[in-house]
Amino acid sequence: MTEAVSGPVVVGIDLGTTYSLAAVMTRHGPRVLRDQDGEALIPSVVAFEPDGTLRVGRAALARALDLPDRTVHSIKRLIGRAGVEIDAEAKRLPYRVRRGARDLARVVMTVPAYFDDAQRQATKDAATLAGLDCRRIVNEPTAAALAYGIDGSRDGTVLVYDLGGGTFDVSILRIQGGVFRVLATAGDTHLGGDDFDLLLAGDLLAASGATAVVEDSRVKQALRRAAEALKIRLSDAESAQLELDLSTGRTTTVHATRADFERRIATLVERTIDCCRRALSDAELDVGQLDDVVLVGGSSRIPLVRRRVAEFAQRAPRTDVDPDLAIALGAAIQADVLAGGNRALLLLDVVPLSLGIETMGGVVSKLVLRNATIPTSVTEEFSTQVDGQTAVDLNVYQGERERTADCRKLASFKLRGIPPMPAGLPRVAVTFLVDADGVLRVTAVEKRTGVQASIQVVPSFGLTRDEVRSMMSAAIEHARDDMAARELVELRNKGLAMVHGTRRALELADLPPDEVYSVKKAVAHLDRVLAAGAPVDELRAATDALSRLTAQIADDVIGSAVKKALGDTPLPKSVLPGSEPR
């Protein structure tokens, strides 16, 4: 179908593990683009012929059996991954994985909601290498919600259940007056229709009795294709029959029932429901507060999936948009907004894990909290720990734990050129800016001098969703211990600052000898407690004792001396690690 599109064209692309789609906005609304055969679902497959010919989509998929080691599929599972993760995934693929001029077309790309900075950046890089100008990265469930909410009559709270070929995502969105806000996300990057296929493939292999040929790449491809076909048939019928040819010299007739299939995949489906529960909990909602449930992704057509979602949500899920097309249609709508379209839509996503900076003692000071709406910018002030400190180290972390050792380090950079000053005088303003694509930029500025440094956090390797889930579970499990450890570190930092500040104030103050003796005695005791690595109770007692003693004279002599030494600006709440004084 050919339809006029006015103005600049921005294409919305649903880059799927199994199939990909593209859509544009026309005067009649979003329309999915189709290939020369009239098909909207384009297999996410590329085949390399021995003579160098490149085949894409269905033409490539047709060559998978003949050229299994030269036909690339499921590449989305590898995007932004580290070497070890790629090696693990590559064992399941029949092809080898190695590291390794036209006008730019403007596109909006979709990714799973839990893709981190590395995976989002890798997607944008792939678009650039393909000659595409990626204008925006949009979470897949959010794009799907756009497709369901474009008429402006669907205000409310929506659960978007997206079960695709390789990943599962669930998002809780609030839609009001054309504004789409993601309240929470959850999911699993290793759960999708491909995993259902693997279970069926194992059953088919056992039924054929051909276990000896499981390492043959042609057999793997044949099993994969047969399993996918059987899954589709059992989604439409109570039973199905399949002629299975594994190149063993004989054909096996396999009979399967939907009931058997549903028993095989029940555990995987329950994992998706667990993700839905987590997302609702993160959004601080219960099921009764949902206005709609939306199904997205080809695997959401499986009857068991629809039944379990309906049972969980206590309502029938909506399917009035083709689940295979919804994400691409939503991407096209967002592309139209970026191209200056008239639709008054505002898309707001969230940060999946908290982001923070390391402070003295190895604790994380969180600036951007988990599930904060993006784009967002947060600035906090920090200072130095020792006199004459001319540089500070800025170590950026991601996670929910209190200590850096238990969080994921994203990046490091150094702010140099701080003039030598007493500890606490430099004012280092640290800004975390998360853009609409979820990419983080950290800037540090010493406010008295204006010296600054910054870094864009695009880490080399991404977190898997299993790692994200593990980090969240660990944060809950160790919350009490983490807070105790943080309290100890903060008390130590407070004690060190008190020792340093009181000694400096005594040098400037004119106190009676008996008061000087009492203060010095308390300072010496706190110094010994700090050096001994005393527990929290003993450390708190020593700091409280010095606080009570100095508080009696803080408003007069010592208080004025401290103000004279440090100025009237209140101290930053935390100090940053850095170089020793010159």
What are the catalytic residues? Answer: 14, 76, 140, 162
139, 185 contact by CB (below 8 A): yes
Q: Which residue(s) pair with 256 in the sheet? A: 240
Cβ neighbours of residue 220 closer than 8 Å, sequence gap 6 or more: 68, 94, 214
For tokens 């276990």, what's the residue?
211
DSSP summary character for residue 8: S
- Exposure letters 23-46 (e unless 16+ CB within 10 A, then b): bbbeeeebbbbeeeeeebbbbbbb
DSSP summary character for residue 70: G
Nearest-5° angle of CA 44, CA 45, CA 47? 160
Collapsing DSSP to helix, strand or coil, 132 comes out as: strand
Sign for the pseudo-dihedral over CA of 399, 404, 410, 414: positive
Helices (H), 53-184: 58-61, 83-90, 117-129, 140-148
How many CB atoms within 10 Å of residue 515?
Answer: 17
Tell me the three-class secondary structure of 288-299, residue by residue.
Answer: HHCCEEEEECHH
Return d(Cα 300, Cα 325) in angstroms, integer: 12
Cβ-based burial of 323 (10 A; exposed 0-12, middle 13-18, buried ≥19): buried
CA atoms in the 13 A half-sphere facing the CB of 575: 26
Return d(Cα 524, Cα 503) in angstroms, integer: 10
